[in-house]
């Protein structure tokens, strides 16, 4: 699956064993994205610097929550500036 949108926030809870969580938003709503430690190490520059992203991955559903387990990340150019809430 390929999803894209503005990054609303990035989170890396201490209890998540290095997993980083992103939320993307577009005109249809929000999507949760799970980035494993290995994926984050590979794509961290673009994932941290871009205000919008294209994410390729696999859809998973656990405990009623639908997420995309990312396997590729790339920048999505936007015409407007957007600021995300990161690592709070």
Segment 67-80, tens digit of pLDDT? 999 999 999 998 76
pLDDT of the chain along its 88 residues, tens only? Answer: 999 999 999 999 888 899 999 999 988 999 999 999 999 999 999 999 899 999 999 999 989 999 999 999 999 998 767 667 675 5
Token pair recorded at residue 6: 């503005």
d(CA 18, CA 41): 10
Token pair recorded at residue 24: 């993307």
May I ask the CATH architecture of the domain 2-77?
Answer: Beta Barrel (2.40)
Calculate the alpha carbon distances from 5 to 43, 56, 62, 69 in Å.
Answer: 17, 12, 22, 16
pTM over 0.75: yes
């Amino acid at each position: 699956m390929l999803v894209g949108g503005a990054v609303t926030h990035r989170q890396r809870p201490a209890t998540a064993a290095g997993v980083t969580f992103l939320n993307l938003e577009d005109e249809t709503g929000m999507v949760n994205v799970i980035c494993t430690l290995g994926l984050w190490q590979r794509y961290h520059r673009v994932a941290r610097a871009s205000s919008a992203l294209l994410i390729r991955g696999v859809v998973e559903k656990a405990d009623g929550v639908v997420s995309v387990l990312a396997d590729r990340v790339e920048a999505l150019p936007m015409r407007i500036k957007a600021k995300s809430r990161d690592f709070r």
